[in-house]
A and B are shown apart, each in its own frame.
Chain A
Amino acid sequence: MLVGHQPKEFLLAVEALTVSFDGFKAVNNLSFYVEENEIRVIIGPNGAGKTTVLDLICGKTKATSGSIQFRGKELTKLKENEIVQTGVGRKFQTPSVFEDLTVFENLEISYPRGRTVFGSLTFQRDAAVKERVEEVAEMIFLKDRLDTYADQLSHGQKQWLEIGMLLIQDPDLLMLDEPVAGMSVSERAKTAELLNRIIKDRSVLVIEHDMKFVEDIAHKVTVLHQGQILSEGTMEKVKNDPKVIEVYLGH
Chain B
Amino acid sequence: MIITSRFFNRSELIGFIALAAILFVILPLSLDVFRLNLVAKYLTYAFVAIGLVLCWGYGGILSLGQGVFFGLGGYCMAMFLKLEASSVENTKIQSTPGIPDFMDWNQITSLPFFWQPFHSLTFTILAIILVPGLFALIIGTAMFKRRVGGTYFAIITQAVAAILTILIVGQQGYTGGINGMTDLRTLKGWDIRPDHAKVILYFVEVVLLFACIGIAQFIRLTKLGRILVAMREQEDRVRFSGYSVANFKIFAFCMAAVFAAIGGAMFALNVGFMSPSFVGIVPSIEMVIYTAVGGRMSIFGAVWGSLLVNFAKTSLSESFPQLWLFGLGALFIAVVLAFPNGLSGIWADYVQPRIDRLLASRKSKPGSKWADNSVADGAPAE
| Interface stretch (choices B12-20, B24-32, B114-122, B220-228) | B220-228
Query: Across the two chains, which residue of chain A brings its CB closest to B238?
Result: A109
**Contact code string A63-84 (vs B, CB < 8 Å = 1, else 0):** 0000000000000000111001
What chain A residues lie within 8 Å of B230 (beta carbons)? 98, 101, 106, 109
Query: Across the two chains, which residue of chain B brings its CB closest to A122?
Result: B222
> With an 8 A cutoff between CB atoms, is B364 at the interface?
no
Q: CB distance A84 to B242 under 8 Å?
A: yes
Q: CB distance A109 to B241 under 8 Å?
A: yes
B-side interface mostly: helix
> With an 8 A cutoff between CB atoms, is A197 at the interface?
no
Q: CB distance B234 to A98 under 8 Å?
A: yes
CA distance A100 to B247 in the complex (A): 21
Q: CB distance B241 to A169 under 8 Å?
A: yes
A-B contact count (CB 8 A): 90
Q: CB distance B233 to A84 under 8 Å?
A: no
What chain A residues lie within 8 Å of B244 (beta carbons)? 79, 81, 115-116
> With an 8 A cutoff between CB atoms, is B316 at the interface?
no
Query: Which residues does A use to contact B, with CB under 8 Å?
Result: 58, 60, 79-81, 84-85, 89-90, 92, 96-101, 105-106, 108-110, 112, 114-117, 120-125, 147, 149, 162, 165, 169
Query: Which residues does B use to contact A, with CB under 8 Å?
Result: 1-2, 219, 222-224, 226-227, 229-230, 232-234, 236-245, 247-248, 251, 372, 376, 379
Given known contacts A98-B230, A98-B234, A100-B379, is B242 in contact with A108 (CB within 8 Å)? no
Query: Across the two chains, which residue of chain A brings its CB closest to B247?
Result: A117
What chain A residues lie within 8 Å of B236 (beta carbons)? 60, 92, 96
Q: Which 5 A-B pairs have the closest CB atoms?
A: A84-B242, A123-B223, A98-B230, A120-B224, A96-B237
Known: A90-B240, A98-B230. 6 other contacts (CB 8 A): A80-B239, A80-B240, A81-B240, A89-B240, A100-B232, A120-B227
Q: List 18 A-B contacts (CB under 8 A).
A: A60-B240, A84-B240, A92-B236, A98-B233, A98-B237, A100-B233, A101-B226, A106-B230, A108-B223, A116-B244, A116-B247, A117-B251, A120-B243, A124-B1, A125-B2, A147-B372, A162-B237, A165-B241
Query: Across the two chains, which residue of chain A brings its CB closest to B58?
Result: A100
From the candidates B222, B229, B241, B248, name the one contacting A84 in the complex (CB within 8 A): B241
Given known contacts A79-B244, A98-B233, is B223 in contact with A109 (CB within 8 Å)? yes
